[in-house]
């Protein structure tokens, strides 16, 4: 594998000799104080659904509701009245609104009026539909069936659970977001084949301000704390799901050694060198790892895109089947490429990218750390492949 990595050195789609960290946006650089967390569109949709289910079953709209987030914590949301649906055939729907508070994270959906309409299902099964302002998936690679609402797995589960806490009656649920189609223009949805509005997202229900200077500073602080506790090994992850996999694999390490770096992998690696850390283990999904493989050390989606030609070259260099090579550039998502690789039982391109990411990280820290990269699946359940170490 090392010879294959060196063969990629002259490819124009990488910066193997010059890994770098893109500059933060000006409005992000100016933030230095502690930041307030917010709630995801998924959590708001679940709360709005619960409120609408209460409205349906009691005839009274609640002023607030509580839901249980994936980590088990209970949070409350204020509830507002929803406009009556204009479709005359849908007068039996009951609607409620939860206004999204994104905390201090720059987010185009902050203030969005996440709306849920519910009615008794005439088909005796519960259905979740996309209303106005919620996108529909038109391309593979997102982990959502083409033609379905752009509501990811965890929010979908939260919506269903929140409704079931109120009633066991099968429901038709419509999630809508007024002006969601305009909001979506500030996202990558169109490039990803999501049309008609925003996505309903979130794996924990809570928005952490990963893209801000304050979060960047918190990554540095966490490494300093680990070093002060005489830890010489740390485990970096890009988010909650990858961290859970890491904690399961490295269960001999203390919790202080585990650090969610969000998009700031480069910052974490440089700080680890300064604080005399000896070994760094990085856990992430293919989108982040492919960016590291192309030499990009700050991986926020608004600052950098997945290099689909890098994925294509990885497939070609490892003699992958033609379907895998085609998948690299058929959409703009790393997930589609990942899914096709797994579907063809073809891990060699993924191994190649994981090793290339490790090589870039070694280059970035001037080989002053032992680094190993672990590629986690998109469900956050297992390590698919890891670098040679």
Burial category of 11 from C-beta neighbours within 10 Å (exposed 0-12, middle 13-18, buried 19 and up): middle
Lookup: tokens for 122: 């005439």
Q: Are strands 133-134 and 197-198 parallel, antiparallel or unpaired?
A: parallel
Q: CA distances (Å), 363 to each of 22, 116, 242, 291, 370, in order? A: 16, 49, 24, 15, 11
State if pTM tops 0.75.
Answer: no
pLDDT band for position 8 (50/70/90)?
very low
Lowest mean pLDDT among 14-28, 107-121, 298-312: 14-28
The answer to whether residues 248 and 359 belong to one domain is yes
**pLDDT over 50 (residue 10):** no
Q: Which residue has the higher pLDDT, 224 or 52?
A: 52
Domain that includes residue 138, residue range: 38-207
What pLDDT score does 307 carry?
Answer: 87
Q: CA distances (Å), 378 to each of 72, 251, 291, 338, 375, in order? A: 21, 21, 16, 9, 9
Q: Are 186 and 100 in contact (CB under 8 A)?
A: no
What pLDDT score does 299 carry?
Answer: 64
How far, in Å, CA of 326 to CA of 6, rounded?
A: 24
Q: Which residue has the higher pLDDT, 42 or 302?
A: 42
Lookup: tokens for 288: 């982040």
Domain boundary among 148, 176, 207: 207
Q: Are 280 and 269 in contact (CB under 8 A)?
A: yes
Residues facing 174 on adjacent strands? 117, 129
The answer to whether residues 77 and 17 belong to one domain is no
The answer to whether residues 239 and 377 belong to one domain is yes
What pLDDT score does 5 carry?
Answer: 39
The answer to whether residues 241 and 366 belong to one domain is yes
Percent of the chain with pLDDT over 70: 85
Percent of the chain with pLDDT over 90: 65
Q: Are 257 and 275 in contact (CB under 8 A)?
A: no
The answer to whether residues 176 and 274 belong to one domain is no
pLDDT band for position 305 (50/70/90)?
confident
Q: Can you spell out the DSSP letters for 317-380?
A: HTT--HHHHHHHHHSS-HHHHHHHHHHTT--HHHHHHHHHHHHHHHHHTTT-SEEEEEEEPTTS
The answer to whether residues 53 and 113 belong to one domain is yes
Give exposure, 96-126, as e/b (b: 16+ Cβ within 10 Å).
Answer: bbbbbbbbbbebebbebbbbbbbbeeeeeeb
The answer to whether residues 321 and 297 belong to one domain is yes
What pLDDT score does 23 carry?
Answer: 53
What pLDDT score does 193 carry?
Answer: 82
**pLDDT over 90 (residue 363):** yes
**pLDDT over 50 (residue 379):** yes
Residues facing 114 on adjacent strands? 98
Mean pLDDT (whole number) for 59-65: 97
Q: What is the pLDDT of residues 232-255, one digit of tens each?
A: 999 999 988 999 999 999 999 999
**pLDDT over 90 (residue 50):** yes
Q: How many domains does the chain have?
A: 2
**pLDDT over 60 (residue 82):** yes
Angle between helices 308-317 and 334-343 (to 10 degrees): 20
How far, in Å, CA of 21 to CA of 327, rounded?
A: 28
Q: Are 267 and 210 in contact (CB under 8 A)?
A: no
How far, in Å, CA of 100 to CA of 110, rounded?
A: 6
pLDDT band for position 29 (50/70/90)?
very low
The answer to whether residues 187 and 222 belong to one domain is no
The answer to whether residues 229 and 333 belong to one domain is yes
What pLDDT score does 205 carry?
Answer: 86
Please enumerate in sequence order all residues whose Cβ is within 8 A of that of 253, keeping only pairs 6 or more positions apart, or say none.
231, 233, 235
Q: CA distances (Å), 25 to each of 77, 205, 221, 294, 303, in order? A: 31, 25, 22, 21, 8
How far, in Å, CA of 316 to CA of 304, rounded?
A: 23
How far, in Å, CA of 86 to CA of 2, rounded?
A: 62
The answer to whether residues 202 and 216 belong to one domain is no
Domain boundary among 207, 240, 273: 207
Mean pLDDT (whole number) for 192-201: 91
Lookup: tokens for 71: 């980590």
> Residue 117 is part of a domain; what is its CATH number?
3.30.2110.10
**pLDDT over 50 (residue 4):** no
The answer to whether residues 24 and 129 belong to one domain is no
Mean pLDDT (whole number) for 78-103: 84
The answer to whether residues 231 and 192 belong to one domain is no
Q: Which residue has the higher pLDDT, 298 or 359?
A: 359
Domain boundary among 156, 173, 207: 207
The whole-chain average pLDDT of the chain stands at: 87
Q: Are strands 80-81 and 194-195 parallel, antiparallel or unpaired?
A: unpaired
pLDDT band for position 222 (50/70/90)?
confident
What pLDDT score does 303 carry?
Answer: 53
Q: What is the pLDDT of residues 139-166, one digit of tens each?
A: 877 788 999 999 999 999 999 999 999 9
pLDDT band for position 214 (50/70/90)?
low
């Amino acid at each position: 594998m090392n010879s294959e990595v060196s063969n990629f050195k002259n490819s124009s789609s990488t910066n193997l000799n010059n890994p770098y960290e893109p500059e933060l946006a000006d409005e992000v650089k100016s933030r230095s104080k502690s930041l307030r967390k917010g709630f995801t569109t998924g959590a708001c949709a679940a709360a709005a659904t619960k409120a609408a289910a209460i409205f349906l079953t009691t005839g009274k709209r609640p002023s607030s509701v509580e839901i249980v987030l994936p980590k088990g914590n209970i949070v409350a949301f204020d509830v507002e009245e929803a406009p009556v649906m204009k479709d005359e055939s849908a007068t039996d729907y009951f609607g409620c609104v939860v206004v999204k508070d994104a905390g201090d994270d720059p987010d185009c959906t902050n203030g969005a009026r996440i709306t849920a309409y519910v009615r008794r299902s005439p088909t005796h099964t519960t259905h979740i539909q996309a209303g106005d302002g919620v996108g529909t998936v038109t391309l593979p690679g997102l982990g959502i069936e083409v033609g379905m609402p752009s509501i990811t797995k965890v929010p979908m589960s939260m919506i269903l659970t929140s409704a079931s806490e109120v009633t066991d009656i099968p429901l038709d649920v419509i999630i809508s977001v007024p002006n969601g189609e305009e909001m979506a223009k500030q996202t990558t949805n169109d490039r990803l084949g999501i049309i008609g509005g925003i996505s309903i997202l979130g794996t924990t229900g809570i928005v952490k301000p990963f893209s801000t200077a304050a979060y960047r500073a918190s990554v540095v602080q966490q490494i300093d704390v680990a070093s002060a506790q005489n830890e010489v090994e740390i485990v970096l992850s890009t988010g909650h799901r990858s961290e859970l996999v890491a904690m399961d694999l490295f269960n001999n390490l203390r919790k202080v050694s585990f650090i969610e770096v969000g998009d700031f992998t480069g910052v974490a690696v440089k700080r680890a060198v300064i604080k005399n850390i000896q070994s760094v283990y990085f856990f992430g999904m293919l989108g982040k790892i492919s960016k590291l493989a192309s030499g990009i050390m700050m991986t926020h989606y608004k600052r950098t895109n997945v290099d689909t030609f890098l994925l294509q070259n990885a497939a070609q260099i490892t003699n992958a089947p033609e379907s895998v090579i085609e998948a690299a550039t058929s959409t703009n998502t790393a997930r589609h490429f990942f899914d096709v690789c797994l579907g063809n039982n073809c891990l060699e391109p993924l191994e190649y990218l994981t090793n290339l990411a490790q090589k870039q990280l070694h280059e970035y820290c001037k080989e002053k750390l032992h680094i190993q990269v672990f590629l986690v699946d998109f469900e956050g359940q297992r390590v698919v492949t890891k670098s040679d170490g």
